[in-house]
Amino acid sequence: MKSAGYLLSFLSVFLLGVVSWPSTAGQPLMRWALIGGVALSAVGILLRLAANLRKGDA
């Protein structure tokens, strides 16, 4: 059940990044901030998932 929650969170971060992308057109700093935010969120979610899988908690 936890694994499904982490995967849904990962997907929602990706989708929020996709819909936000057009609003960063012509603003390189905002675009890099969006890329960084999505990447860091995704990595954090995947690290929590990996930790739970290692513990047998997921």
* pLDDT by 10s per residue, the chain, length 58: 778 898 899 999 999 999 999 999 999 999 999 999 999 999 999 999 999 889 887 6
Helices (H) and strands (E) counted in the chain, each on its own, are 2, 0
- SS3 (DSSP) at 26: coil
Domain hosting 50: range is 2-55
**What pLDDT does 58 receive?**
64
Domain count, the chain: 1
Residue in 43, 49, 36 with CA at minimum distance from that of residue 7: 49
**What pLDDT does 56 receive?**
84
